[in-house]
Amino acid sequence: MTTSTETVSFTRMDEGTTADYELLARKFEPYMAESPDRYIAALEAQRHERSSGYPIDRCEHALQSATRARRDGADPDWIVAALLHDIGDALAPMNHDRMAAEIIRPFVREEVTWVVAHHGIFQQHHAGPMNGTDPDARERFRGHPYFEAAAAFCARWDQISFDPSYESDSMESFRPELTEVFARPAFDPLYVRPDEVLGLPSASGRTLDDDTRNGRY
């Protein structure tokens, strides 16, 4: 963690000097390098939240989702998305999907950000018939280039990841993907790759087309 105690001279921003702002710029880079530590700490904190009623805590749900993504051969963008997709549960319970999406937006493919931003409404497809929400709410996005990826993300990695018997990879094992993704230059088109549609990798010998045809994703 950053330990330097050097500070700027001003108490209001409009009285700062060039040297002050150069100091802040110098401190920002090492601060950004600590992003993986902060996300890991935030996820670990979800282990200690009061019981949500699910059979596993939210941290374990994150690990299970990310492990499923990894075992399906997903790229780091998807793995980090699966790991962080519910990181906003405590601070933004009514729009937690949007909060997680804003965290990853500068660093991952646009498709991945869109999926995380909309996973709440796509998740309803699996619980809606039983919990009183509209299972077809996602239909408003039918035809969107990222629709199939969002459906698959929820079906294959999110909605099934409440299983206490599933053996997830450790939190520390995800540090390489976190480090890789958050070390990228922000909003670089090389990584954001707007309008590129890749979908999820096929899993267990299935193709996404097969799953879609069978209504399973």
Residues that bind Fe ion (CB under 5 A): 86, 158
Q: Residue 88 Cβ, how far from Fe ion at the closest point, in Å? A: 8
Residue 127, token pair as written in the block: 């619980």
Fill in the amino acid letter for 108: V
Nearest to Fe ion of 116, 192 (CB atom): 116
- Return d(Cα 92, Cα 38) in angstroms, integer: 17
User: 96-104 and 110-131 are packed helices; what angle lies between their axes, rounded to 10 degrees?
Assistant: 160
Q: Residue 171 Cβ, how far from Fe ion at the closest point, in Å? A: 16
- Return d(Cα 72, Cα 196) in angstroms, integer: 20
Nearest to Fe ion of 127, 183 (CB atom): 127
Q: Residue 23 Cβ, how far from Fe ion at the closest point, in Å? A: 39
- Return d(Cα 18, Cα 84) in angstroms, integer: 37
Nearest to Fe ion of 94, 190 (CB atom): 94
Nearest to Fe ion of 7, 95 (CB atom): 95
> What DSSP state is assigned to residue 14?
G
Nearest to Fe ion of 86, 148 (CB atom): 86
Q: Residue 161 Cβ, how far from Fe ion at the closest point, in Å? A: 7
Nearest to Fe ion of 16, 128 (CB atom): 128
Q: Residue 154 Cβ, how far from Fe ion at the closest point, in Å? A: 8
Q: Residue 151 Cβ, how far from Fe ion at the closest point, in Å? A: 14
Q: Where are the alpha helices (DSSP H) in 5-137?
A: 18-33, 35-45, 58-71, 76-84, 96-104, 110-131
* DSSP states of 162-194: --TT--PPPSGGGHHHHHHHHTSPTT-HHHH-T
Residue 211, token pair as written in the block: 């799953």
